Amino acid sequence: MKRIFLFLLTNVAVVAVLGIVASLLGVNRYLTANGLNLGALLGFAFVMGFGGAIISLLISKPMAKWSAGVQIIEQPRSADEAWIVETVRKFADKAGIGMPEVGIFEGDPNAFATGAFKNSALVAVSTGLLQGMTREEVEAVIGHEVAHIANGDMVTMTLIQGVMNTFVVFLSRVIGYAVDSFLNKNNENRSGPGIGYMVTTVVLDIVLGFVAAIIVAWFSRQREFRADAGATQLMGRRQPMINALARLGGMHPAELPKSMAAMGIAGGIGKLFSTHPPIEERIAALQNAQQQG
- Tens of pLDDT, residues 71-104: 999 999 999 999 999 999 999 999 999 999 999 9
Check residue 22 and give its pLDDT.
62
Check residue 268 and give its pLDDT.
47
Buried b (16+ CB within 10 A) or exposed e, 26-37: ebbebbeeeebe
Residue 182 has pLDDT above 60, yes or no: yes
What distance in Å separates the CA atoms of residue 264 and residue 276, rounded to the nearest whole number?
9
Q: Which of 75-89, 169-183, 208-222, 258-272 is predicted least confidently?
A: 258-272
Query: Which one of 86, 145, 188, 255 is the catalytic residue?
Result: 145
Which pairs from 264-270 meet CB under 8 Å and 24+ separation?
A: 264/110, 264/111, 264/112, 265/110, 265/111, 265/112, 265/141, 265/144, 265/145, 266/110, 268/221
Check residue 14 and give its pLDDT.
61
> Taking the alpha carbons of 241, 227, 277, 264 in that order, is the dihedral positive or negative?
positive
| Annotated catalytic residue 145 | yes
Q: What's the pLDDT tens digit per position in 47-65?
A: 888 887 788 888 888 888 8
Residue 2 has pLDDT above 50, yes or no: no
> Who wins on pLDDT, 118 or 189?
118
Q: Are 61 and 100 in contact (CB under 8 A)?
A: no
